[in-house]
Structure 1
Amino acid sequence: MSKFVLVIGAGQAGLATGYHLRKAGLPFQIVDAAGRVSDSWRNRYASLTLFTPRQFSALPGLLHTGNRELYPSRDEFADYLQSYVAHFDLPIRLDSRIVRLVKEATGGFEAQLQNGERIRATHVVIATGAFQKPIIPSTASQFAPDVVQFTGDSYRDPSQVPAGPVLVVGDGATGRDIAAELSAGHTTFLSVGKPRKLFPERILGKSAWWWLHWSGLMQAPKESRLGRYMQKADPFPDRDRNLDSLARNGVRIMPRLMSAAGSIAQFSDGSATEVVSVVWAVGFRDDSSWVEIAGAGGSNGSFVHTEGVSEIPNLFFVGRPWQRNRASALIMGAGPDAAAIVKRIVCLVTAPWP
């Protein structure tokens, strides 16, 4: 079989992979289920801005325009991804959802599209990202049917949310953003879990990301002592989103949600409140059900890999959180992680095919 790389997913991870495959001179195609590049970004909540400023929110070979110290919006970054495809003329097939990936007896792969078509490849890079299916706790079923429920995936803006008290569950960056904007027009409760570590947005006039990048902290290996500490702490920048600031702006901070009964939310300290809507912002999980290859996925549905390399020969990943380091979950990590994976593929294609 002629060497051919199939890249699944046309987000930042897939495009960075395409960039490096093009540089390496390998034949490849990027396939995505969406109708246009960057729809996964445009379909998120409207007020979303990236974690990192423009100087750290670019893919290899193409810088962002605009103030490098400021944060790109959701739509700006989506436009950037579209311009990236055009700039490098990357081969992308859209409206092409892959519903089944299998390993062939010859050692290659066959991907089946939703329309029944099949694509064969010698190497596959799964770059679908870590935001596949929103996690909805079992507590959701305890609310009455007339309590309107959203996820971090289905929530777009406050106009969707009916009048009355709203509970946001989950105090990561998404939950805090949503609670902050809802508080302008709704009585808003934010249910928090474990204590979160936030770092200052700027240090000595420089973005905290500048310090983290140039100090080498963002590149600390996953299994290093520093890497393990950063995984446990999981800090994110404080852009006026600490709990004290949220409280000053009207968000009512509540402890962990324990249960619900009808329209009543009950918390770990024994308190309770009535709500008319709930936004679940407790994270996402993988969907590996379409990869029908034994050993590719774990029992919990997550993908199994070591620094993006599967135990399945010629199967790889880019865009996994902590794939190699903290940067892996961010735009700044897509290029280096893709480069490392493509380097491995280049080494493999020089070997005889079975």
Structure 2
Amino acid sequence: MSKFKEVVIIGGGQAGLAMGYALKQHKISFIILDENGETGTSWRKRYDSLRLFTPRNYSQLHNFTFEGDPNGFPHKDEVVLYLQKFKSVNNLPVINNQKVIKLSNVSNQKFRIFTQDQCYTARYVVVATGAFHHPFIPHIHDDSIPFMIHASDYQNPEQIPKGDVLIFGAGNTGIQIAAELSGTHTVTLSKSKSIKRIPQRIAGKSLFWWLETLGVSIVKPDSLVGKFIQKRDPIIGDDYKTIKKYVEVVSRVEAVKEGIASFKNSPSKEVKSIIWATGYRNNYSWVDIKGVLNDVGKPIHKFGVTNVQGLYFLGLSWQSKRSSALIYGVSDDANAIAEKIIQR
């Protein structure tokens, strides 16, 4: 027999918690289904030295204070404790170890949510599984490389075999890992486009203070400025200074075969270790509702609102603005979706 709730939030990370808080302010009945055993698990799994590139005063859910220097950059373990405290203080009803395996609609007014051992029924569903779920590795390699991992499995330099290491992907994660490994390994970094860097502080102010002051943080994804930024999103922080000194930067990897990596505009080289900093892809194959996903499996939505009445997404990259997938920006989107639910 299924359990009924007015709203079911799928995902217990920062997006799910932000959504729960927004609904609670309006006294709407809801539960949060989290596939993990405890809040913050996804952050705890990330590499040991990870720090946010947003300062503490720009890393808060619904203005809930992040303890410590407001201008400092929190370590990943601080984020775990922050999310756990946010859930506890606000008494949010999170049900752990509930991985959703199917979402279907019974009618225009109800949804069914199936986990591995339970069935829930709801009038509204918010898919808040975030933007970073399934590690993506391009199919351009064979099995000749002795050591190969995705950046999501990277923890620290001791984990990587001694000697040369190739990092494929020069986004923020690839740059940070390359900078850290440059102190212990010979590092080659493969980039697919030119690297543009922007510091975390400008003229004594946080980068995010400037983004807010200049209105950049609220530009819409379909605006001219939004489209420009999405194509040229810069690297944030000072790690690129280390890259320029100690890391060999080459062009895009085209193939890795028989232990040799070939590049678009750089000489080929022998490779023994690879870290794929190639991002993530969301897998919504468990969403069994017509018209929700496009031909490549991405949600069809406008600022998180789908064309299926009562179904919403939250925490997507560039959902309504650049910071939608960050702790910094997800609360605004949660409030907007809560208002949509209230209106219905």
User: Which band: TM-score by shorter chain?
Assistant: over 0.9
Quote the Cα distance in structure 1 between the aligned partners of 2:234 and 2:119.
42
Give ranges in structure 1 of 5+ residues lacking alignment.
349-354
The Cα shift of 1:106 comes to 5.8
Which residue does the alignment assign to 2:303?
307
- Alignment equivalent of 2:244, drawn from 238, 243, 247: 247
Q: Which amino acid aligns with 1:332?
A: Y
Q: Which amino acid aligns with 1:330?
A: L
After the TM superposition, which residues 200-349 of structure 1 pair with which residues of structure 2 at under 5 Å, given as runs?
Answer: 200-237=199-236, 239-242=237-240, 245-248=242-245, 250-348=246-344
Q: Which amino acid aligns with 1:51?
A: F
Whether contact under 8 Å (2:251, 2:266) holds in the other structure is no
Q: Which amino acid aligns with 1:246?
A: I
Which residue does the alignment assign to 1:352?
none
After the TM superposition, which residues 20-169 of structure 1 pair with which residues of structure 2 at under 5 Å, given as runs?
Answer: 20-105=22-107, 107-115=109-117, 117-140=118-141, 142-144=142-144, 146-169=145-168
Q: How many positions carry a matched residue from both structures?
A: 342
Which residue does the alignment assign to 1:192?
191
Moved more, 103-112 or 285-294: 103-112
The Cα shift of 1:73 comes to 0.8
Quote the Cα distance in structure 2 between the aligned partners of 1:73 and 1:62.
17
Moved more, 298-307 or 124-133: 298-307
Whether contact under 8 Å (2:5, 2:120) holds in the other structure is no
Q: Which amino acid aligns with 2:56?
A: R
Whether contact under 8 Å (2:44, 2:76) holds in the other structure is yes
CA RMSD of aligned residues (A): 1.5
Identical aligned residues as a percent: 38
Q: Which amino acid aligns with 2:343?
A: C
- How big is each residue's C-alpha offset from its partner over 1:161-219, in whole Å with a ceiling of 9 and x where there is no partner? 11221110000000011111112211111101111322222211111111111222101
C-alpha distance 231-94 of structure 1, shift in aligned 2 (>3 A): same
Quote the Cα distance in structure 2 between the aligned partners of 1:307 and 1:130.
14
Quote the Cα distance in structure 2 between the aligned partners of 1:209 and 1:227.
16
Q: Which amino acid aligns with 1:318?
A: L
Quote the Cα distance in structure 2 between the aligned partners of 1:108 and 1:236.
43
Quote the Cα distance in structure 1 between the aligned partners of 2:211 and 2:251.
31
Quote the Cα distance in structure 1 between the aligned partners of 2:250 and 2:194.
12
Whether contact under 8 Å (1:164, 1:275) holds in the other structure is no
Give ranges in structure 2 of 5+ residues lacking alignment.
none
Return structure 1 stretches of 4+ with deviation > 2 angstroms.
none
Quote the Cα distance in structure 2 between the aligned partners of 1:143 and 1:270.
22
The Cα shift of 1:61 comes to 4.1
- How big is each residue's C-alpha offset from its partner over 1:101-137, in whole Å with a ceiling of 9 and x where there is no partner? 111036311111112x101111000000111111111
Which residue does the alignment assign to 1:16?
18
Whether contact under 8 Å (1:143, 1:260) holds in the other structure is no
